[in-house]
Amino acid sequence: MAIWRFIPPADGPGTFHMAADVAILEAIRAGQSGPVLRFYRWTPPCVTLGKFQPAEGNVRLEDCARLGIDVARRPTGGRAILHHREVTFSMIIAEGDLPRAGANIMDSYRVLGAALVDGLRRLGVPAELVDRKANVSGGDAPSMKAAGNPACFAAKARCDLMVEGRKIVGSAQQRKNGVILQQNSLPLSVDYPMWERVFYRSDWEAVMRDGMVDLWTAAGREVAEDEVVTALCAGFRSALGVELTEGAFTAEEERRAWELVGEYAVQSVAHLDLR
């Protein structure tokens, strides 16, 4: 049975969390760490941009500052996410340690997605991994149908975790030099009107109606963070057959994370004076 290091939920700024995922990825690549499943909270709330997504024209930076919301950049691709009232977690693993990982991002996404489906169903949420490959016959990928909206949850990609046709988890993955990093956002509840203040072209009413669903709505009850973490961990054990051993960052991982934070910083409310 494969052993994964489980790092329980911890508070921190978005830049640190992005850098920490990369620091762990580097440790795995160097053979200094095995697979990791880690959970984290955003202090303060944060908008993350996809690796190649510009802030200008997509995120209202001045309004984010006034609302006390940081803006950071992810090492993974995709679109912007407002991280607030959610459960966030990353999986970092060498390709060779993930059975059936296949040769590309979609293959590994399907394998990891099975664990998330298992965990969500333990919470009473009828989640499913919807692969639209069979429905794409050329042209742009499905995610491009909402090309004007900068938010991740406004777009449906080729493979998504869905509940009755609505997206429930936003995931982005980097797969390079033999190591997989997948970052995941599971909203507990969503302040949709806040999107209007954070994103340009948010179209939040349409997203609320048709595009996404948060966990509390899908489950029909308020689910505590610790219950979510427990269910997702059980999903990994069941679907992937892994053993989770609680741990923390190594001293080198933490040192390297703080060294990297500047690479993921876009705007920090701690460094602004709006008088």
Residues 188-215 as b/e (b if ≥16 CB within 10 A, e otherwise) read bebebebbebbbebbbbeebbeebbbbb
Cβ atoms of 46 and 144 within 8 Å: the answer is no
The CA-based angle 91-111-157, given to 5 degrees, is 85
Question: 46, 64, 152, 159: which is the annotated catalytic residue?
Answer: 152
Token pair for 82: 């407002």
Active site residue 152: yes
Distance separating alpha carbons of residues 228 and 231, to the nearest angstrom: 5
Q: What is the DSSP string of 148-185?
A: T--BGGG---SEEEEETTEEEEEEEEEEETTEEEEEEE
Q: Which residues contact 31 (CB under 8 A, 6 or more apart)?
A: none
CA dihedral defined by 153, 69, 183, 120, rounded to 10 degrees?
Answer: -60
221 - beta bridge partners? none
| 75 DSSP assignment | S
How far is it, in rounded angstroms, from Cα 151 to Cα 202?
Answer: 7
Backbone angles phi, psi at 9, to 5 degrees: -55, 135
- How far CA 136 is from CA of 90, 102, 142, in Å, comes to 28, 21, 8
Residues labelled catalytic:
152
